[in-house]
Amino acid sequence: MITHKRYIPLLLIVLVSGGLYKNAYGQTSSDENLLSEKSYAREPNAVNRIPSSEEVKGYIEYFNSPSPWLEIRKKRIRTLLPGAMAAADLDHWLIICRENNNDPLANHVGCENAGGTAVVLFSKDSESEAVTSRIFSPLSESTALKELGTFDFVIDVDKSQSAIEAASSYLTQQNTKGQIGINSFTVNPLADGLSHSQYIALNDAFTDTDISFKSAEDAIYYWLARKLPEEIEIMAKAAAITSRWEYEAYQAVIPGKSTDLDIAQFLKRKISDAGVGDGWAPSQNPAVNSGPDRGHSHPTDRVIQRGDVIQIDFGIRVFNQWVTDIQRFAYVLQEGEAQPPEQLQHAWKSAINGRNAAFNAMTPGAKGNAVHKAQQYVMQQSGSLPVMWSTGHPVGYVAHDVGPNLGVRPASDKLLDRHMTFAFDGFFSWYYSEDNTDTSTFLHEGKNQKTKTISVEDMVVIQEDGARFLTPPQTSLILIQ
């Protein structure tokens, strides 16, 4: 069993106006407001601001109440979808839903409970820009759909009809011409839900019409990348829980006894006790690593030793809809050490400076790769090794959500905009000390050369004047005695 053990964060002691800043597990002196919200986050070794236990308790109670998703979904369709369809130059968007192997967007468009094949059709009015929603549904589901009020119109389809053919007939009667959007023709999995057999059925149903198909990817991209204020508030609460639990997990570490897997199991119990879910694949959430870099991987039974730098990469899912993605780092002091070695202090400060550069670059209208380049410059100047990962990624409905990539992928050419949410890292990487008894993963094309990377990760939302943290970021390296 892991027992709780005190840790001390590496921090900057500041004596101002008679107030001494010191960390006592998230508590600071009466001068805690001296550092502004932005300046404290940018100061390497400033005191960590840890969400309080009472605050987190209230959030957990909230996440065990009825989900607000159905009302939020209606609002997203009403307020965000018109802009998404306009941006994609779409007047109509057609989604085919079915039982079991459903479209990835089924839960977003309201057909997550499809039994037989159903068709959702969004149509944008050319004058008012308002979007009207229709679902062509088998009779077995249409009554419930009418009661829920998700769609403006529910069109019954009896067993002798095809929902796809019913949608085709409706559009033909409306004298629809030109292209309509479908979930295909893209490598984005969330925008590629149409199966081959469904595509054949679509082609058959729309033969001899003046309608052709185009990918709805641009509309999906715009729509999913932006979050409502209510959603951002939910994600901020979830981020506070995630962050605090990671700090608590480090309190439980006993050098020479605790393993990476012990830390993971501690967090798994937190998830279970709170009634929330995993932010991504349960077998790799959390990723805990006290040795050399292993990338996205499962925690092992490696025993944590003095001198180790520990990484926790962890996320939770709340209301079965929104996720978090946060990393926290700690150092296990050697016997007689009061602070980390100079090289590690440099690594930590450099990682925070890299995070600051990325944070400053995240403004509306900036390209995702510009954010990545801002951090890369700091890494080069500080002597960091290159890393294989992007600086950041959208986060929200899944850990790696739809939106601009903060790296070098194709989506990194897309522009950041208000109400987008991201998880992003502050990087510094170095060669891991050689140890012939350590059989951890070798990097660099199989060469006997391993690395260790600080990748402290936090979540932000883009506002008019730039990025805002959803929960206080880690500013000081946690020290375990």
For residues 118 and 97, the answer to whether their CB atoms sit within 8 Å is yes
Domain boundary among 224, 256, 274: 224
Statement to judge: residues 314 and 332 lie in one domain: yes
Model confidence pLDDT, tens digit, residues 292-315: 888 778 899 999 999 999 999 999
Statement to judge: residues 169 and 300 lie in one domain: no
**CA angle, 89 as apex, 84 and 92 as ends, to 5°?**
80
For residues 286 and 299, the answer to whether their CB atoms sit within 8 Å is yes
Q: In this model, does residue 28 exceed pLDDT 60?
A: no
The CATH number of the domain holding residue 310 is: 3.90.230.10
Which CA distances in Å does 138 have to 95, 155, 162?
15, 9, 9
151/172 Cα distance (integer angstroms): 21
Structure-model confidence comparison of residues 139 and 2, the more confident one? 139
- Overall number of domains in the chain: 2
Strand pairing category for 178-182 and 211-215: parallel
425/359 Cα distance (integer angstroms): 10
* Domain assignment present for 409: yes
Mean pLDDT of 344-362: 96
Q: How many CB atoms lie within 10 A of CB 260?
A: 26
Statement to judge: residues 324 and 284 lie in one domain: yes
Statement to judge: residues 99 and 112 lie in one domain: yes
Statement to judge: residues 44 and 169 lie in one domain: no
Domain that holds residue 157: 81-224
Which CA distances in Å does 129 have to 90, 109, 123, 132, 372?
11, 18, 9, 10, 36
* Domain assignment present for 71: no
- Read off φ and ψ for residue 327, nearest 5 degrees: -120, 140
Statement to judge: residues 455 and 360 lie in one domain: yes
* Domain assignment present for 73: no
Statement to judge: residues 145 and 232 lie in one domain: no
Model confidence pLDDT, tens digit, residues 179-221: 999 999 988 899 999 999 999 999 999 999 999 999 999 999 9
Statement to judge: residues 217 and 292 lie in one domain: no
Statement to judge: residues 220 and 232 lie in one domain: no
Domain boundary among 164, 191, 224: 224
* Domain assignment present for 69: no
The CATH number of the domain holding residue 86 is: 3.40.350.10
Domain boundary among 192, 224, 256: 224
| pTM of the predicted protein model | 0.88
